Amino acid sequence: MPSSTVAERRGPWQKARMQTPPARIGDPIDAVDTPALIVDLDAFDANIARMAAFGREAGIELRPHAKTHRCPAVALRQVAAGAVGQCVQTIGEAEAMVAGGIADVMVTNQIVSPLKLARLTALAERARVSLLVDSPEGVALASQAAAERGVELGCLVEIEIGMGRCGIAPGAPAAELGRRIADAPSLKFLGLQAYNGRSQHFVKLADRRAAVERAADAVRETVQALTAHGLTAEIIGGAGTGTFRLEAAAGLWTELQVGSYVFMDREYASLEGEGGRVEPEFRQSLFVLATIVSHSAPDRAVANGGLKVMSAEQGKPGLTDMPGAEVVGISDEHSLIRLGQGAPAVAIGQPVRLVPSHCDPTVNLHDWIVAVRGDRVEEIWPVTARGASR
């Protein structure tokens, strides 16, 4: 097939098409053009510091997941606080992270396209790069790509531990795949990926605990099977914002791949933890700043942020500082607010802060994150991997 090279796909096509930033550094927050994605830096800084302190105290590495932020400015702050690098989900994210100064990137995904593997091996000339496999085909494709470029790719076996998505069966099948990696030219066997994205979101702590216990059994069985093949897992990766304390306590995982903790969202806030919210010390730092554009009846108002600035598959956004008010509808460019008993008066032109229900796909809708400290715009970060799903 006459597929084009990476170079041919760039060059003449690469034109400016990002949106202009919604503010300037130094602006007061009420000068921010809306709808805009804002980060409260006090909450954001505290979230990064708290997770870093947890890793240090637990004696476990952090490799935060860039799928949450797609933004090197965020990744660099996580690394400055001690993280070993970043996880990414796509080659485009990997390219953006390396271009932004991240030296160690793990693609926590199955990459089976020769074009994508060629981009990954190009990155391996500039950074430490690894990826997952769950099939012999995956091993063969990665090995061939790395050999063609003359680089070595780190490679981990993804095991299926309850999510029912990607991943080979733990134990002997996983160890055999590990052996295949170790024997393949230009690949280095690094270890295991044991991640369950579903269990992050179980509402009850007891259910999350049971899921991690089952996962730990699968990891133990696989580590033993690797030993029989003469292999040692240097890295065992996994965990997320909903379960990271449990994986750390299990004493098997070597890296926590937490993502959402930097921003938090409405869905995570709804989970139950020890005596309350899942992680009360992690604060909501991510908001969509919108403006009331219509208020044509006493019981309703409309804000100018909708489905194109907030993902809604996890539900409608929340509101801050508006007791008695609720978002009851969301469409392309509007959030419909029902004003109940005791809701504060609203006026056309008034700003409103919306709390996204799911942070990862919400950030991906924006070219810029406006980082505010109190009421002042302190920084403006480009989301350089926005749209980078290839």
Looking up tokens 């089976």 gives: 112
Minimum distance from residue 73 beta carbon to its own copies (Å): 14
Residue closer to its own copies, measured from CB, 241 or 254: 241
Residue closer to its own copies, measured from CB, 42 or 137: 137
Cα atoms in the 13 Å half-sphere on the side-chain side of 359: 27
Residue 107, beta-bridge partner list: 88, 131
Minimum distance from residue 321 beta carbon to its own copies (Å): 20
Sheet holding 153-158, edge to edge: 61-62, 255-256, 235-238, 187-193, 153-158, 128-133, 104-110, 86-88
Minimum distance from residue 340 beta carbon to its own copies (Å): 15
Residue closer to its own copies, measured from CB, 2 or 59: 2
Minimum distance from residue 319 beta carbon to its own copies (Å): 16
Residue closer to its own copies, measured from CB, 54 or 195: 195
Residue closer to its own copies, measured from CB, 73 or 81: 73
Minimum distance from residue 228 beta carbon to its own copies (Å): 21
Looking up tokens 């870093």 gives: 52
| Whether the Cβ atoms of residue 363 and residue 68 lie closer than 8 Å to each other | yes
For the chain, give the longest Cα–Cα distance: 72
Residue closer to its own copies, measured from CB, 179 or 358: 358
Q: What distance in Å separates the CA atoms of residue 256 and residue 240, rounded to the nearest whole number?
A: 7
374: left (phi over 0), alpha (psi -120 to 50) or beta: left
Cα torsion at 34, 39, 42, 44 (round to 10°)?
170
Cα 327 to the chain's mean position, in Å?
25
Is residue 382 classed as helix, strand or coil in its secondary structure?
strand
Is residue 232 classed as helix, strand or coil in its secondary structure?
coil
Residue closer to its own copies, measured from CB, 180 or 386: 386
Cα 13 to the chain's mean position, in Å?
28
Distances (CA, A) of 97 to 101, 120, 330: 6, 12, 32
Minimum distance from residue 336 beta carbon to its own copies (Å): 5
Q: What distance in Å separates the CA atoms of residue 189 and residue 232, rounded to the nearest whole number?
A: 9
Residue closer to its own copies, measured from CB, 296 or 341: 296
Round the CA-based radius of gyration of the chain to a whole number and report it.
22
Minimum distance from residue 218 beta carbon to its own copies (Å): 14
